[in-house]
Structures are given as structure tokens and as C-alpha cells.
């Protein structure tokens, strides 16, 4: 079975299994059943087993899964057993908050360079990072073979920046701008839009007992 055939939602849950396992590890738990893992995350035990089984046989019948073992397997699958260099475009409020966040490295991601279009920001330093001008982007990405980028730029700049990133060899983009960007099929985009998340909450909270207006009898 190929990775490509594995259900997208299963891959997504893998990240949550990993996160939860790391929490169990901190709590000095060395072995865990699909039921325990599922309960902690709101999934069924069958779901957990099936998801993991897509990728191999990691469990031990009668015992469960060994926490350390499964963590390292999941990291290997997700590709975070090695450190990825990541570049950041956009050093506004959000961008600077990301620069100050030191949790990335522990998760396998290293902020390697930061770029901004605003000349007054270029040259500013934050810890080890110095903001560089946009026209350095392609060169830096090429030299350091960077494949991942985080984009925290205004909505109206997003498509142009995405194009630049793709041209510079970037293959995965995390997009904080509240617009859809178009990229070639071999480039992945993960969007993070706070408004979208809040809207989903808003919807769920308007749910209590409401019915859709519809012609009767349906």
C-alpha cells in the first residue's frame, strides 16, 4: 500500500497521536492501548488501530503500543525525525511572534531565515535571526536547500509571495494570509485562518436547537 492511498484524515490524526504520546511520555507512561490513546483524543480504539496499521505493525498484542517506540515511528513517518529548515516571510506582529516561539525546534523545525518587503524592517535582529530583504529569498532558499516556508503577509501580497516562494524551490507553504493561493500541483499549502476557525465556533454555538428554514415536509 502506498502512502498516497492512505486517507488524509488518518495522516492528520497521526500528528495528534504523536502529540498525545509525547504527553504520555512526560507522564512516564511507557505502554499504551489503542483505547487509552483514543479516549484521550476523542477517537474510538478501532480508529486508532486502523490508522496506525496503515503504516505498519507497531503494536504488541496483549500489551498495546510502546510509547517511545511509537513516537519514533510516527516521527519517521511524518518526516520530523530529521530537522527541517523553514523560512519565514513577513515580519509583522504575527511573524515576530513566530520568530520568538522556540518550540519549533523541539518539533523538528528550525527557523532558518526571515524576509520582509519593508526596507525599514530589513536588518533588524531578533535573537539569532536577522530580517533580510525579499530579493535575498531565492538565493538563501537555494543555498540552504530550504523546502518549507511560513507566510505571514497581508492578504493582498499573498499570491505574489507564494509565486516567489515556488520559484525559489519551496515545496510546502504554511499560509496565514486569509486568502486562497494558487500553486502548482507539486507544492502543498496549509492554510491557517483565524477567522475561519472562529466562524466554525460561531456556527456550532448558533446550533442549539436551530433548524434550517425549508419548505415543509422535509
Residues 142-201, interacting with its own copies (CB under 8 A): 147-148, 171-174, 178-180, 188, 190, 192-201
CB of 118 to its own copies, least distance (A): 16
Applying CB under 7 A, which of residues 16, 20, 22, 47 lies at the interface with DNA?
47
The neighbour count for residue 70, using CB atoms within 10 Å, is 22
Asked if 66 is part of the footprint of its own copies (rule: CB under 8 A), the reply reads no
Nearer to its own copies, 30 or 197 (CB): 197
Nearest to 176 by CA among 90, 107, 69, 66: 90
Q: Which does 35 bind (CB under 5 to 8 A by kind): DNA, its own copies, none?
A: DNA
CB of 67 to its own copies, least distance (A): 16
Give 115's strand partners. Answer: 89, 132
CA distances from 86 to 26, 30, 136, 158 (A): 27, 32, 15, 17
Asked if 64 is part of the footprint of DNA (rule: CB under 7 A), the reply reads yes
CB neighbour list of residue 25: distance below 8 Å, 6 or more residues apart: 67, 68, 71
Query: For 62, left (φ over 0), alpha (ψ -120 to 50), or beta?
Result: left
Q: Which does 64 bind (CB under 5 to 8 A by kind): its own copies, DNA, none?
A: DNA
Binding site for DNA (CB under 7 A): 7-10, 33-35, 43-47, 49-53, 57-65
Amino acid at each position: 500500500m502506498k502512502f498516497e492511498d492512505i486517507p488524509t484524515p488518518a495522516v492528520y490524526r497521526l500528528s495528534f497521536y504523536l502529540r498525545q504520546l509525547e504527553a504520555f511520555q512526560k507522564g512516564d507512561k511507557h505502554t499504551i492501548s489503542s483505547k487509552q490513546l483514543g479516549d484521550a483524543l476523542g477517537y474510538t480504539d478501532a480508529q486508532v488501530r486502523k490508522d496506525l496499521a496503515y503504516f505498519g505493525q507497531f503494536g504488541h498484542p496483549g500489551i498495546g503500543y510502546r510509547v517511545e517506540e511509537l513516537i519514533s515511528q510516527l516521527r519517521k513517518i511524518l518526516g520530523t525525525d530529521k530537522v527541517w529548515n523553514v523560512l519565514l516571510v513577513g515580519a509583522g506582529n504575527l511573524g515576530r511572534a513566530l520568530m520568538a516561539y522556540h518550540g519549533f525546534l523541539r518539533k523538528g523545525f528550525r527557523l532558518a531565515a526571515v524576509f520582509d518587503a519593508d526596507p525599514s524592517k530589513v536588518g533588524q535582529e531578533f535573537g539569532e535571526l536577522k530580517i533580510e530583504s525579499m530579493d535575498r529569498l531565492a538565493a538563501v532558499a537555494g543555498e540552504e536547500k530550504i523546502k518549507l516556508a511560513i507566510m505571514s503577509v497581508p492578504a493582498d501580497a499573498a499570491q505574489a509571495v507564494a509565486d516567489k516562494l515556488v520559484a525559489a524551490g519551496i515545496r510546502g507553504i504554511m499560509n496565514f494570509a486569509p486568502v486562497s493561493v494558487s500553486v502548482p500541483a507539486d507544492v502543498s499549502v496549509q492554510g491557517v485562518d483565524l477567522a475561519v476557525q472562529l466562524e466554525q465556533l460561531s456556527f456550532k454555538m448558533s446550533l442549539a436547537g436551530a433548524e434550517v428554514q425549508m419548505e415543509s415536509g422535509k
